Amino acid sequence: MDIRIGFGYDSHAFKPGVPLRIGGLAIECPEGLAGHSDGDLLLHALTDALLGAIAVGDIGTFFPPSDPQWKDADSAIFLRLALEELSHAGYRLVNTDITLILAKPKIAPIAGAMRAHLADLLGVELSRVSVKAKTPEGLNIDHVAQCHAVALVERIPEEDCQKSMTAVIESQRQLEDVVEDLLASVHGVEKKGRTAPAFDTDDIT
């Protein structure tokens, strides 16, 4: 069996007046996490774990923080691209184990909802997603949130490869649509229309 392991890490400082998003969920808190995108350190760490498992770089390779188009972007876009890269390389996720380190807010009450949402984003069963939280006792970093993510991936069996590549092509189109919608709503960039074919392909003989 061809399996690989990827590890991802991210950290962000808390900042007043910023919405808090962790694991794709909006969380009630007086402070959010400062970041170029939406500051979702869990999705960032998980994205790096998936990309690292197939050795194609990290989140900054694909979405550099110096690029203004990713300002306030939904981090689910980053995760979706990582999943596409994974599938394109011929692998799929087996399971992921994630540990958050933060003094606030309490994650235990929402861990179930977070796992369910992550499982939906990843397209896997709930049992394949683990989310834990620890407090940074004695480290004097209560103003910072950290996340460690590990992802185990396996090579897709040959008989499933054709089906997987079809899904990659379709998801790539969906990703392009999502990115265009994001740029249109956040930056006022006009959406590109899809070019219609110059002829009816059904009439080709």
Residue 141 has what pLDDT? 85
| Enclosing domain of residue 174 | 3-203
DSSP SS3 for 5 = strand
Q: Work out the angle at residue 110's Cα, subtended by the Cα atoms of residues 104 and 114, and round it to the nearest 5 degrees.
A: 110
Q: How many CA atoms lie within 13 A of 109 on its CB side?
A: 5
Q: What CATH number does the domain containing 19 carry? A: 3.30.1330.50
Rounded to two decimals, the pTM is 0.77
Residues contacting residue 123 through CB under 8 Å, at least 6 positions apart: 83
Residue 172 has what pLDDT? 63
Q: How many domains does the chain have?
A: 1
pLDDT band at 41 (very low <50, low <70, confident <90, very high): very high
Scan for tokens 């229309």, then name that residue: 193
Is pLDDT of 184 > 50?
Answer: yes
CA dist 175 and 196 (Å) reads 19
